[in-house]
Amino acid sequence: MTINLTLLVVMGAMLAVGIYLLLERSLTRVLLGIILISNGVNLLILQTSGRAGEPPIVRDGMEAGDYLDPLPQALLLTAIVIAFAMVALLLALIYRSWVLGRQDEVTDDEEDRRVAATIGAHDPEEDADVGTETSEFIDAVDPATGTVRSVSPAEPRDDAATALTEGSRGAGES
């Protein structure tokens, strides 16, 4: 397996520039960064697929080692489709951002700034109290006696029983 050093250098440069552009605040630069990263990864898959060989079409008299493995080709095609979908989604988001705000840069939210300013002033006593489990399927403790009594979900409450009987009488009378 021979590795083309030029393609490896180009791939590394594409990944480095893509990561740099991905960290910018401009959505267009983020888009270009994602394009460069996806193309760099495609070059990586191409390099790791092995040497150039015959297409994977079975012919008489050819050894199995002479064929090119079709799996990296399928992975490369899948990576291209996924990259295209991400670019299309980002283009739609950039266009919508431009139509609504006439800007390409992602700005900080006022709430994010306020939260970032108060991070150091956290008081654990201000946390909300965590309530106890109030499920009807758990045995409840009687506070008067301290004994555990079983709560049956099949027992209707008194207000539910009266509402049920009043509702059935009203429906039958008319």
Please report, for the chain, the start and end positions of each structural domain, with discontinuous segments joined by +: 5-52+69-108, 140-173
3-class SS of residue 120: helix
Q: Could you say which architecture CATH assigns to the domain 5-52+69-108?
A: Orthogonal Bundle (1.10)
3-class SS of residue 66: helix
- Which residue(s) pair with 54 in the sheet? 67
Residues 169, 42: Cα–Cα separation, whole Å: 73
Q: Which residue has the higher pLDDT, 128 or 23?
A: 23
| pLDDT 10s digits, 70-111 | 788 899 999 999 999 999 999 999 999 888 888 888 777 888
Question: Which residue has tokens 């960064």?
Answer: 33
Helices (H), the chain: 5-22, 27-48, 70-101, 110-117, 158-173
Residue pair 63/24 in contact by the 8 Å Cβ criterion: no
Model-wide pTM > 0.75: no
